[in-house]
Amino acid sequence: MEQALSGVKVLEYCNFVSGPYCSKLIADLGAEVIKIEEPGTGDEARHRGPFPGDIPDPERSGLFLYLNTNKLGITLNLESTAGKKVFTELVKNTDVLIEDTTPGTMNNLGLGYDSLKEVNPSLIMTSITPYGQTGPYRGYKAHHLNIYHSSGQAQFSYSMSQNSNLPPVKGGGFLGDYDAGLSGAVATLAAFFKRTFGGTGQHIDISRQESLISLDRIDIGSFTNDTSMVERRRGMLGGLMPCKDGHVVVLAPQQHQWEAMVQMMGNPVWAMGEKCRDEFARSEHAEELQPLINEWMLERTKDEIYHLGQSYGCPAAPVNSTADVFNSPQMKERGFFADIVHSKAGRLSYPSASYKLSETPWQANRAAPLLGEHNQEIYCRRLGFSSEELAEMKTSGVI
């Protein structure tokens, strides 16, 4: 079935999360993505769990399997002269190249944007790095932990806590790396859209740090214009709170939201006093008022609080576990989880897509590739190498 990006050709030279997620989002829309991995070792994500049965296997990593559905997979050593030539041949028939090497790496290999656009002037090249292609931090290496904190994202988690003595924490898993991949996909599709309507190819510079900063709109904007806002928000009532069967998040910083929460709680007498007259008074007396809100929450379940919040217009949400989400009747009705069969990992359920396109729907066209699974198809059938040449390239470490 035709998909939104059917016919678009993408080359991915990325590792771990941000870059592979960027190209996965595009592959899920129907583009053909060829993933390039290092011979022998492959993508780092192959060696990170979870693994079915807790048995490590580079072909059965849940992280890799999710990030690389709907892609073809080949191996290629770009450090070799022959590998560079093959890469250039692949670029000639590519719409988009997504790469996540350290700034300067592709140029040093002779495969930077200025060189590649000579063989493919319409090429869109998206480079995803920790801090971008320019600036004093351009060459810094960084893990998810570094990026999450250097972006200020952890401050949001800190502000949600009722205990101001707790240190900031990073988001679970690789949340920030996925956000950077999403930024990369949006920018890439924007550039492709422009090229489709008469534009040219271009180089896209994605900073993982800036991708996360862009999500801190309220915090960054508040601090830039009024540093006192940061201190006032630390006294905000509600936030993450325990309830009868887990936790909920209730946000009520604005007056109408506060009034909705008070109505939801049955208009308790203490909420009518001077200590609650406005945001500033409530912030000043937060340590005294917060336990009263907590007490009300502890007497009710997540589901009760959520539906009461909905009925009163109070922003309240349950903190769902993975099991809660997977078993949600909403998710089941929309068919959000889809089964995909992998030759090594077997049949597993995967999150599908966060959108529903009526004419060009999401499809699970193929499971994540085995390491070098499509070498024969790409090198022999498309580039014209013989089986003997392919065998020689493997022996010499080119693929």
- Above pLDDT 90, what percent of the chain? 86
Question: Does a structural domain hold residue 190?
Answer: yes
Listed residues 290, 321, 352: the one ending a domain: 321
Give a yes or no: residue 137 inside a domain. Answer: yes
- Average pLDDT of the residues in 181-189: 98
| pLDDT over threshold 80, residue 6 | yes
Q: Which of 32-36, 219-223, 278-282 has the lowest mean pLDDT?
A: 219-223
The contacts of residue 243 (CB under 8 Å, 6+ apart) are: 297, 298, 300, 301, 302, 305
Q: Give the pLDDT band (50/70/90) at residue 167.
A: confident
Mean pLDDT across the chain = 93
Is residue 169 included in any domain, yes or no?
Answer: yes
Same domain, 191 and 80: yes
Residues 186 and 313 in one domain: no
> Do 146 and 258 share a domain, yes or no?
no
Is residue 326, in this structure, part of any structural domain at all? no
Report the alpha-carbon distance of residue 312 to residue 308 in Å, rounded. Answer: 6
Does 132 lie in the same domain as 185?
yes
Same domain? 244 vs 102? no
pLDDT of 160 over the 60 cut:
no
- What's the domain count of the chain? 2
Residue 154 pLDDT level (bands cut at 50, 70, 90): confident
For residue 207, tell me if it sits in a domain: yes
Q: Which CATH number fits the domain that encloses residue 281?
A: 3.30.1540.10
User: Where do the DSSP E strands lie in the chain?
Assistant: 9-13, 32-37, 71-75, 96-99, 124-129, 203-207, 238-243, 246-251, 316-318, 337-342, 346-351
Q: Is residue 329 part of a domain?
A: no
What per-residue confidence (pLDDT) applies to 171?
83
pLDDT the model gives residue 217: 67
The residues, any chain, with a CB within 8 Å of residue 156's CB and separated by 6 or more, are 216, 219
Q: Does one domain contain both 96 and 66?
A: yes
For range 31-53, the mean pLDDT:
97
Range from 112-116, 156-160, 198-202, 386-390 carrying the lowest mean pLDDT: 156-160
Q: Residue 94 in contact with residue 11, Cβ under 8 Å?
A: yes
Is the domain of 206 the same as that of 245? Answer: no
Domain-terminating residue out of 321, 355, 373:
321
Both 72 and 44 in a single domain? yes
Last-in-domain residue among 321, 356, 380 = 321
**Tokens 């040449």 sit at which residue?**
389
Q: What is the mean pLDDT of residues 232-251?
A: 86
> Does residue 249 sit in the same domain as residue 184?
no
Structure tokens at 56: 């490590």
204 and 145, same structural domain? yes
Q: How confident is the model at residue 232 (pLDDT cuts 50, 70, 90)?
A: very low
What domain range is 71 assigned to? 9-215+335-395
Q: Answer yes or no: do 176 and 264 share one domain.
A: no
Q: So what's the pLDDT on residue 215?
A: 85
Q: Does residue 57 share a domain with residue 26?
A: yes
Percent of the chain topping pLDDT 70: 92
- For residue 151, what is the domain's CATH number? 3.40.50.10540
Residue 3 belongs to a domain = no
Better-scored residue on pLDDT, 154 or 374: 374
Q: At what angle do helices 217-225 and 153-160 cross, to 10 degrees?
A: 90
β-bridge partners, 96:
10, 124
Of 15-29, 157-171, 181-195, which gets the smallest average pLDDT? 157-171
- The answer as to whether 349 is a domain residue is yes
Instruction: Note the pLDDT tens digit of each residue in 315-348.
Output: 999 999 999 999 999 999 999 999 999 999 999 9
Q: Say yes or no to pLDDT of 382 above 60.
A: yes
With tokens 């709680």, the residue in question is 265
pLDDT digits (tens, 9 = 90+) for 113-135: 999 999 999 999 999 999 999 99
Q: State residue 330's pLDDT score.
A: 95
